[in-house]
Amino acid sequence: MKKLSFYPLICLFIVLFSACEDPDSNPKALLNVLLVDSPAQWDSVFVEIEGVDIDVLVQGRETQAQTFYLEYKSGNKRIKVSELVGGTQLLLGRNELPIGQITNATIILGDNHSMFIGENRYDLELSGSDDNRVSLSTSITLEQGISYDIILDIDLERSIVQTSESPLTYGFDPSFKLVKGTGLVELNGNLKPTSLYPAIYMRSEKDTFSTHINSTGEYSFRVPKDNYVLYYNPKNERYQDTTFSLDLTAVRDSSLRDITFKVKP
């Protein structure tokens, strides 16, 4: 999911829970960090991620600020974001955290980013981040025995920008979005024709999310309960766009009606 105003949803999904039933003098919560998103009109996009720093105000006699590093331990840290669509998730890191309050998540990027358009490869030079770090503030209180969800989405529509026409080059200005997972609604739908590279936007008075389809036309959202306007942009002048309203204030999870773009008269 993504903020527009890569939803492909690129995102991170965090689950925190404590498995101890007996009182513990040093209670912990388990943190799983997962990545989701999609590559929009590009055939494939690779993003190098070293790990994630989680800042926690640790509960105790005196509240102390501590940072916990969750390393992405894959031998190859270049992630093919284009495969993370239709609910597919990638585990970036896992660690135990003390109870307290998460105040910030910082994505630590490498330097090796690229994308393909057809057979052509384009290196993506970081253009908007001086130190390869993207910091996102939040406020999540961790209590023993309770599960918590967070989603981090990279918005590739905003992150990848054309920097010149001759020669054709692109830059990478990573744009992430953090969404608290508590109370989210999961939506799934299907969009045709799959030969297009459409973008789907969900807009409320508070926020905007976007995502894209996978090779079979499937897409998904995880959004807070609210009233939304869905906008389907075919990104092709031959087809009409589509818009409709959706009330998610009392909905848990839902399947959206299938959408087929109509050719303009």
The mean pLDDT value for 220-239 works out to 89
Q: Is residue 2 part of a domain?
A: no
Q: Is residue 7 part of a domain?
A: no
Q: Is residue 265 part of a domain?
A: no
pLDDT at 2: 42
Q: What is the pLDDT of residues 203-218, one digit of tens each?
A: 898 888 877 787 788 8
Which string of DSSP letters, residue by residue, matches the chain? -B---------EEEEEE----S--SS-EEEEEEEE----TTSSEEEEEEEEEEEEEEE-SSS-EEEEEEEE---SS-EEEGGG--TT--EEEEEEEEESEEEEEEEEEE-S--EEEETTEEEEEEE-S-SSSEEEEEEEEEE-TT--EEEEEEE-HHHHEEEEEETTEEEEE---EEEEE-TTEEEEEEEEE-TTS--EEEEE-SS-EEEE---TTSEEEEEEESSEEEEEEE-SSTTB--EEEEEE-TT-SSEEPPPEEPPBP-
Least confident among 124-128, 183-187, 215-219: 183-187
Please determine, for residue 51, whether its predicted confidence score (pLDDT) is greater than 90. Answer: yes
What is the band of 113 on the pLDDT scale with cuts at 50, 70, 90?
very high
pTM (global) more than 0.85: no
Q: Is residue 177 part of a domain?
A: yes
Q: Residue 114 sits in which domain range?
A: 12-18+29-260
pLDDT at 19: 40
Q: Is residue 189 part of a domain?
A: yes
Domain count, the chain: 1
Q: Is residue 246 part of a domain?
A: yes
Q: Is residue 5 part of a domain?
A: no
The mean pLDDT value for 183-211 works out to 85
Least confident among 13-17, 176-180, 192-196, 254-258: 13-17
Please determine, for residue 196, whether its predicted confidence score (pLDDT) is greater than 50. Answer: yes
Q: What is the pLDDT of residues 162-178, one digit of tens each?
A: 899 889 999 999 888 88
Q: Is residue 192 part of a domain?
A: yes
